[in-house]
Chain A
Amino acid sequence: MKKLLLALAIIGLSAAGGWSAEILGKVKTDLRISPTNGDIVFYEISGNLKFDTQVNDNFYGMIKLGFRYSGQPKGQAALNNILIPQELAWSSSVMPLDILIDEAYFTCDNFIFDGLEFTAGKQRIVWGTADVFNPTDIINPGDFYDLLNFGKKSASIAVNTTLHFYIAESESGLQFVYQPQSPIAQLNLTMIGMMEAAMSARIIEGILPYVTSFSNHTSGWTAPSAVTPELSIYNASYGLRYKINLGPIDLSANAVSRINDLPYVKTVSIQQQTVIDMGGGTTNITLNGKSYELAYYREAEAGLDFSWNTGLFVLWGEAGVTFPENTVTVMHSDAVVIVLPVMITNNVTTVQEASYISNQPYVKYTVGADCLFEGGWYINFQFAHGFFTERGLIGAERLQDYFILRFEKTFLDDKIKLFLTGILNVNTLGDAFDSADFGGYFNGHYGAVLQFGVTYKPTPGLELTLGSMLFDGADGCTIGQMKDYDLIYTSMEYAF
């Protein structure tokens, strides 16, 4: 309620303050259904209101307020459709509504001296040139709230200054970004569920082969936590970027120091009871509880990117080498060990460490090209080494390979657009070629997604979409793990 009042107050102030702001808005409805079991996997109305004004030649201000209204009641504790009876009396549980400040910033051109652009506030920062897969765009935190919009980045609170100047006739700029607090990514429950499932699997793999039985191992996690970076000057991010246009070529180089926006598993704790029957020669373990803690780590990155209009098509490339801090997962095991038949009881604590992200530098890169043809045809092809959520050379999150191909065709003055996207994911191509059995390795480490659909714009501002995403593959790669998430989706978006 406080959020709503705050939002209304901002709207009222901006409208009443003689600011003469332009008001634009957008409303979108989304409905996604699983074709395999009929579940509604996403059901939401979202939108935003944007107030902005160009006060004079040099000064611009804007506020964009967003909202998300879910058609699904959501329990405050379980974060699913299981509510405590009292929650049925709370509108925030029965009709969950989020009010967000998507962006709020001002920009001053020719700040202090000519050519200096200064922007402060919550803003989406321009960084990198590649299309969707931007491995060097790490200054903007990921927004994984919507799985279908996987390349989306969030705005963050930052001071963003660019000095624009010319070298000969070439437009050039030196950009410096300071984020007082390194922003973190918004995740979604599917990602968190997959991460928990992977941790559970590792616990089972670490115990089950060595014991007679392992019971209660499917129990849920108890009080897991995510320790986000403290508000401290030591947790700031910095980015420096130089860009230049050389006719049909845009080039830029950047360096960033930040806290990685995705968490890593810092600790996993399990409580268990182990019964060793010396007479029967059996070892039976019962899991009494398990928990984990997520944390964040610092990294530095240096990147290069280019975009080249060849005349026939646009070619781009983007590569970033990342130098991560060494991160380890500490596994605590507290076991009550009972030895039969002598009935000796002992408490045994073991601590093991395993590398999560090693401090070895790794290179994430994308190369791609796209082309618009007369008659409304569009083709986009990319190869990416490293998905948005991937990092490092080892472990479950190591960089994998992706081929992406997209076709679009528009009809009736762009009112109707058909689209088809195919993604092939291999973990990794290098390992597949190194393997003695390429086919066998590939079958265990590939994933594919096929997306197709149609959008219809009957009138400017209104867009209706009907589409489908079909996943396939093996568990040994990122997309393969999503093979149970096939969906049919519809959306209606209106801008006013």
Chain B
Amino acid sequence: MRRMMGIFTILILAAGFSAGYGLTGDEVLNKVEDSLTGPQDMESLNILTLANSDGSGKEIREMKMYVSGNDMRVVKFTKPAGVNGIGLLVTGADQIWIYLPEMKKIKMIQGSFKNDSFQGTDFSYNEIGSYEYKKDYSASIQSEDDKTYTLVLTRKAGSEKTYGKVVMTVDKSTFIPSKAEFYDGNTLKKVMDIIEVEKMGKYDIPVKIKVEDVVKKHYTEMVMKDVKFDQGLKGKGIFTQQYLKKKE
């Protein structure tokens, strides 16, 4: 009996040891990425609202987006008329094409601008439809409370990411970040808020995201509609130059 009590005590202590130390920052970040990139693929109609931080100069844009994994994307603008039909195909790090409907031309473009603004929005090309962090950042837990972790992500050596530091607030129950602040040195440059997360089947999908460039005092809010996932988009030939030309 004494021996049984001893084993029980060890088990309790082991559990306590584990609970006390919890997850590491990198483990939380892994879970964040897993939760955000859960679906094998995703299709959505995205409504983008661009405006100055004070709400003036509002513009509405609409685009169809297809995502598979971390590096396959097709984005096609449908509104306004000035950008209708312009499409972007990404199939890998240095495999990016833009379709210009006016000239019926598919043009290869290089990837070093990936951190630049995506078609005048506050998202960079890298950030549209992508939630890949662990490849470029190592994470540590800055603080935590009952509901959230606050992570500090530090850019890894050799990474091409613009921001050296990201402070991310993560919901403990879903591992979906609610806020991310992007710093260049110690200067805050950009803030991303995941305003609305919707449970769709087995996935938690961020469906309303706002990114504000605090330097330019300008924001872009993206609302995702008609979200479909796990359709086997890759097998349907979506991530091809042939599909890039096709009207949505």
List chain A positions with a Cβ less than 8 A from chain B: 24-26, 52, 54, 60, 109, 117, 124-126, 129, 131, 162, 164, 171, 173, 245, 247-248, 250, 307-314, 316, 370-376, 413-415, 459-463, 495-496
Contact = CB atoms under 8 A, between A and B. Distances in A.
B110 A313 contact: yes
B246 interface: yes
A340 to B, nearest CB: 65
Interface stretch (B33-41, B67-75, B115-123, B143-151): B115-123
Nearest to B106: A126
Interface string B67-105: 000000000000011111000000011111000000111
A200 to B, nearest CB: 37
Contacts of B96: 309
B120 A414 contact: yes
Contacts of B107: 131
Contact of A129 (B80, B93, B108, B111): B108
Given A54-B247, A312-B110, A461 B115 contact: no
Given A164-B240, A308-B108, A309-B96, 4 more contacts: A54-B246, A129-B108, A164-B237, A461-B81
A477 B218 CA distance: 50
Nearest to B116: A374
Contacts of A173: 242
A126 B104 CA distance: 6
Given A309-B95, A413-B218, A460-B61, A372 B106 contact: no
A428 B7 CA distance: 92
B225 interface: no
B108 A124 contact: no
Contact of B110 (A124, A131, A309, A463): A309
A316 B162 CA distance: 28
A345 B153 CA distance: 101
Given A126-B104, A245-B241, A414-B120, A373 B81 contact: no
B112 A171 contact: no
Contacts of A162: 242
B93 to A, nearest CB: 7
Contacts of A461: 80-82
Nearest to A117: B242
B59 interface: yes
Given A52-B247, A413-B218, A307 B108 contact: yes
A495 B112 contact: no
B92 A247 contact: yes
Nearest to B114: A374
Main SS class of interface, A: strand
A316 B108 CA distance: 9
Contacts of B119: 414
Interface of B: 59, 61, 80-84, 92-96, 103-113, 115-117, 119-120, 162, 216, 218, 237, 240-242, 245-248
A314 B108 contact: yes
Contacts of A414: 117, 119-120
**Residue of B108, B120, B216 with highest tally of chain A CB at under 10 A:** B108
Contacts of A54: 246-248
Contact of A311 (B112, B247, B248): B112
**Residue of B80, B81, B84 with highest tally of chain A CB at under 10 A:** B81
Nearest to A243: B241
A168 to B, nearest CB: 14
Given A460-B80, A460-B83, A309 B104 contact: no
A60 B246 CA distance: 9
A374 B240 contact: no
Contacts of A60: 246-247
Nearest to A415: B120
Contact of B112 (A126, A307, A371, A460): A371
A308 B96 CA distance: 11
Given A314-B109, A371-B112, A372-B113, A124 B104 contact: yes
20 contacts: A52-B247, A117-B242, A124-B103, A126-B106, A126-B245, A164-B240, A171-B241, A173-B242, A248-B95, A312-B112, A371-B110, A371-B112, A372-B110, A372-B112, A374-B113, A374-B115, A413-B216, A460-B80, A460-B82, A460-B83
A208 B184 CA distance: 75
Contacts of B237: 164
Contacts of A124: 103-104
A378 to B, nearest CB: 9
Contact of B242 (A24, A164, A314, A370): A164
Nearest to B97: A250
Contacts of A372: 109-110, 112-113, 116
A60 B84 CA distance: 16
A362 to B, nearest CB: 26
**Residue of A24, A376, A415 with highest tally of chain B CB at under 10 A:** A24
A409 to B, nearest CB: 12
A109 B119 CA distance: 30
